[in-house]
Chain A
Amino acid sequence: MEHIFESLAQFWEYTGFANCSWQNLVMIGIGLIFITLAIVKEWEPMLLVPIGFGMIVGNIPMFPGLNIGVYEDGSVLNILYQGVKQGWYPPLIFLGIGAMTDFSALISQPRLILIGAAAQMGIFGAYLLALAFGFAPNEAGAIGIIGGADGPTAIFLSSKLAPDLMGAIAVSAYSYMALVPVIQKPIMLLLTNKKERLIRMPAPRVVSKQEKIIFPIVGFLITAFIVPSGLPLLGMLFFGNLLKESGVTKRLANTASGPLIDVVTTLIGLTVGASTQADKFITLKSLLIFGLGLLSFVIATTCGVLFVKLMNVFIKNPAKKINPLIGNAGVSAVPDSARVSETVGREIDPSNHLLMHAMGPNVAGVIGSAVAAGILLSFLG
């Protein structure tokens, strides 16, 4: 009988109850909030459900040394986490994004590409702020990329520049991507007047198949020659798009845009969530990263909207003016930020559909953030 009690007492030491700390409970609570937001509000459910559940998985208190935790070498979670740590998953996701993206909106109105460039200022604004808060340049670069509003890019760059901060950066990037409608709308309304919001843009022209095929090849050659360090992301993005547009590799395109991206998204979400173990995550640095991440989204949105207003100053033909409500879409976050443009635009004029126009800067933002990540890697890697 005594042995049984001893065994039970020993077993108790291995249970989550005996090893629990308040930090674990906080992180589990955050994970539950993520899952609730994803299911109830439908905010980025594909990301928030895996990340939220991953947070719960990663924060189950456990006896150290059982070789099951995400940070314990050789454990199953650790092996899956290598895809994040070594930066394998983000390029695979970019392959899928490329195979899903229709660049027609961009090709039909090439001038909208520049909005995608302007919105990248959020990255560098956050970089400056992070330096001012005492982060090292490589850490500041990794934090800044949150402003690109592109989860895979944020994971890719932070795994190279500041692996210790990757969990906080990834969670911050995905959380704010989910909160794009909440963050961007007030800024858009603040920076535009009624007259500007009512601008109707001409319908985009029909893009030929030839243009769609040439775009990924030319786009890749130009961007990769300028920023070769962005090769894994840019190469996969444009390759995926070529698979889609070539018309002769439908099976490959379907796999890349379907099963492959689904598998990788599941794994990346779960392991990023699991990497937020309380002892490594609940720090002052993480809080600062969350704050700076929010600011980077604000700066990016502001710069995108203001840049469109600046472009309008130089566009003399009133019929060719651009509605500044599509400026926010320059921050990657495909297609959520473009949806925000559509929603806000229709609030003031229900018949003014901005979605197709906003998709132009939106996909330009994907290219822009990958280019920006490549630049930061060149300077700070």
Chain B
Amino acid sequence: MRKFLLTVLTALSALALHAQNVSDLIISEALAQPDSTGILDGYGRRGGWVELYNKSTGTVNYAGCFLTDDRTQLRKSIIPKSDNRTKLGPRQVVLFYCSGNRHDGTFYTDFTLAPGKTVYLVSNDGRTIIDSLQIPANLPVGKSVAKLAPDIRQQEFAAQDQPAIPSPAILNGDRNAASRGELMKERDPHGWILSVTSVSVVFSALAILWFLFWFLFDRRAKKKAEHKPAKVVKGTPDAEIAAAIAVALDMEDSGDVYAAIATAVHLYLTECVHDAEPGIVTITRKESAWNNKALTFRKLPR
């Protein structure tokens, strides 16, 4: 049973690991028909291209994945496994030229693009479609179809209805968008909104903690204590302890002695850590590596 559980857990971990990798890739942009200003590939040609985007915050290795324009032939154009450039950094893009011949290089596909086609990105198992992007049949020449993520988490990407101005190998959307700090400066120049919000959150978090522990434990413990008669320690009335402490405090002027007496009495009364004799509080010496003589002696040479 134990082995079975471990196997299941390992399998689940492996799945989770996979989920953090190629499944984080999307086809972020595609262009089927370039105009005269379109980007040139490594051979000086103008043609269609597909752009992939890594929406995760970790590096993704997409070697062995496939690109295709045919749903019935998912393994049409493989991304070479032997090229170490097939690692895509967090929130970065990579461009594939759809030249129709993948032997042109790592970043070339075995198909060309045309309006009305759909491009698929397929996982390295050759079966799982990770993402797809349909090129509208009426997409004008020189325009691309792009995906954007309007949500704050930048995870839910959707293809835009309007044709986009091509931005090959460049992040889609507002590339000069203000950082959170800059936005905050605009919205809250004096800082009051952030301060009040933050103080409220800190109080809420700790107040929830307070309520939970008060409700779950403190309240019950106090109720229990009210109903339970006070614990009487046999043979050691509180007055005797008080008198012993008073005498000790009169005699000694060292903070260590106070602490030792207080600890011993506390342990005795609350946790009954005490040896057999009634009425005597014993502080047992505990050896450690620092004061154990056996450990500090040096061996004599023979």
Interface residues of A (CB under 8 A from B): 107-111, 113-114, 116-118, 120-121, 123-125, 127-128, 131-132, 136-138, 140, 161, 205-208, 211, 214-215, 218-219, 222-223, 226-227, 364, 367-368, 371-372, 375-376, 379-381
Binary interface encoding of chain B residues 267-278 relative to chain A, with 1 for a CB under 8 A from any of its CBs, else 0: 000110000000
For A137, the chain B residues whose CB sits under 8 A away are 181-182, 184-185, 188, 191, 194
Cross-chain contact A113 with B198 (CB below 8 angstroms): no
Cross-chain contact A379 with B198 (CB below 8 angstroms): yes
Cross-chain contact A110 with B194 (CB below 8 angstroms): no
Cβ contacts A to B, 25 pairs, < 8 Å: A110-B209, A110-B213, A117-B203, A117-B206, A120-B199, A123-B198, A124-B194, A124-B199, A127-B194, A128-B190, A131-B189, A137-B181, A137-B184, A137-B194, A205-B222, A207-B217, A215-B213, A223-B205, A226-B204, A227-B201, A364-B206, A367-B209, A372-B202, A375-B202, A380-B180
Quick one: closest B residue to A138, CB to CB? B181
Within 8 Å of chain A (Cβ to Cβ): is B241?
no
Given A222-B205, A227-B201, A371-B205, is A111 in contact with B210 using a C-beta cutoff of 8 Å?
yes
**Dominant secondary structure at the A interface:** helix
For B180, the chain A residues whose CB sits under 8 A away are 379-381
In the complex, besides A125-B195, A137-B182, A207-B217, 11 extra interface pairs with C-beta distance below 8 angstroms are A110-B211, A127-B194, A131-B190, A136-B181, A205-B225, A208-B217, A208-B221, A226-B205, A375-B198, A380-B184, A381-B180
Cross-chain contact B201 with A206 (CB below 8 angstroms): no
For B194, the chain A residues whose CB sits under 8 A away are 124, 127, 137, 379-380
For B197, the chain A residues whose CB sits under 8 A away are 375, 379
Given A124-B199, A381-B180, is A205 in contact with B221 using a C-beta cutoff of 8 Å?
yes
Binary interface encoding of chain B residues 153-192 relative to chain A, with 1 for a CB under 8 A from any of its CBs, else 0: 0000000000000000000000000011110110011111
For B212, the chain A residues whose CB sits under 8 A away are 218, 222
Cross-chain contact A107 with B213 (CB below 8 angstroms): yes
* Residue among B182, B198, B218 making CB contact with A372, cutoff 8 Å: B198
Task: Tell me the bound Cα distance from A206 to B201 in angstroms.
Answer: 30
For A205, the chain B residues whose CB sits under 8 A away are 218, 221-222, 225
Quick one: closest B residue to A115, CB to CB? B206
Within 8 Å of chain A (Cβ to Cβ): is B208?
yes
Within 8 Å of chain A (Cβ to Cβ): is B207?
yes
Given A117-B207, A137-B191, A222-B205, is A124 in contact with B198 using a C-beta cutoff of 8 Å?
yes
Least CB distance from B184 to A in Å reads 5
Cross-chain contact B202 with A113 (CB below 8 angstroms): no
Quick one: closest B residue to A380, CB to CB? B181
For A121, the chain B residues whose CB sits under 8 A away are 199
Cross-chain contact A110 with B214 (CB below 8 angstroms): yes
For A215, the chain B residues whose CB sits under 8 A away are 213
For A206, the chain B residues whose CB sits under 8 A away are 270-271
Given A120-B199, A128-B192, A371-B202, is A113 in contact with B209 using a C-beta cutoff of 8 Å?
yes
Most buried by B among A121, A124, A214, A372: A124
Cross-chain contact A111 with B214 (CB below 8 angstroms): yes
For B221, the chain A residues whose CB sits under 8 A away are 205, 208
Cross-chain contact B201 with A371 (CB below 8 angstroms): yes
Least CB distance from A169 to B in Å reads 16
For B206, the chain A residues whose CB sits under 8 A away are 113-114, 116-117, 364, 367-368, 371
Least CB distance from A5 to B in Å reads 53
Task: Tell me the bound Cα distance from A207 to B191 in angstroms.
Answer: 41
Task: Tell me the bound Cα distance from A215 to B181 in angstroms.
Answer: 35
* Residue among B191, B201, B211, B270 making CB contact with A127, cutoff 8 Å: B191
Cross-chain contact B210 with A110 (CB below 8 angstroms): yes
For A138, the chain B residues whose CB sits under 8 A away are 179, 181
For A161, the chain B residues whose CB sits under 8 A away are 181
